[in-house]
Amino acid sequence: MLLLGSQLIDTPVLSLQTGARLAAANTPLIDPASLKIVAYVLEGPLLTERPSLVLTDDIRELSTIGMIVDSSDEFIGLEDVIKIDKLYKLGFNLLGMNVIDQSKHKLGKVEDYSVESDNFVIQQLNVKRGVLKALTETSLLVHRSQIVEINDHSIIVRTTAKKIEKVVKAERRSYVNPFRSTSPQPENTDA
């Protein structure tokens, strides 16, 4: 099931053993290479280590009441997993990134994203158009398959305008009017 990334912010993290609220999921740690939420930074008064994180692989279930983990033993610190420490220090934030096409035309900025609830992979980007474009068009959805590159400043997506032009030109060339012949025909005078 697809969920908006903004819906998962401040989601309670609950213990399967005790049923108690252990913390709240705050900031997602997104791997820019795979567009997967690897972990969430946690907030709450019961945490013993700051910052504490929960790996998305350790979340047993994502339900209407929150993220369910076995216990607080699932929480990790930055030094516990090298990849998590690197992602945390990278400080990658998907929200607010510029989205441009391969022709260098700015399409807008990432306003939100849709996450697959089973594996926490980001499937779509919700792109907010600029002020002038917003008057005539609604927001833009970009599927992950359209993304060509993610760099420090922007997300580059595949350009489709060139493909459409080629298809239209090809259709015009191949069209033949069956009622027109290439050589003149004599009129029928037998009427």
pLDDT digits (tens, 9 = 90+) for 79-133: 888 889 999 999 999 999 999 999 988 999 999 999 999 999 999 999 998 776 6
- The 10 Å CB-count burial string (b at 16+, else e) for 124-153 is bbbbbbeeeeeeeeeebebebebbeebeee
Q: What end-to-end distance do the CA atoms of the chain give, in Å?
A: 71
Task: For Cα atoms 12, 18, 23, give the angle at the middle one, nearest 5 degrees.
Answer: 25
The CATH H-level superfamily of 2-90 is PRC-barrel domain (2.30.30.240)
pLDDT digits (tens, 9 = 90+) for 3-30: 999 999 999 999 998 889 999 999 999 9
Q: Which CATH number fits domain 98-161: 3.40.50.300, 1.10.1380.10, 3.40.50.880, 2.30.30.240?
A: 2.30.30.240
Angle at 150 between CA 147 and CA 151, to 5 degrees: 155
pTM over 0.85: no
Q: Tell me where in the chain the CATH 2.30.30.240 domain(s) lie.
A: 2-90, 98-161
| Closest of 121, 18, 28, 117 to residue 70, by C-alpha | 18
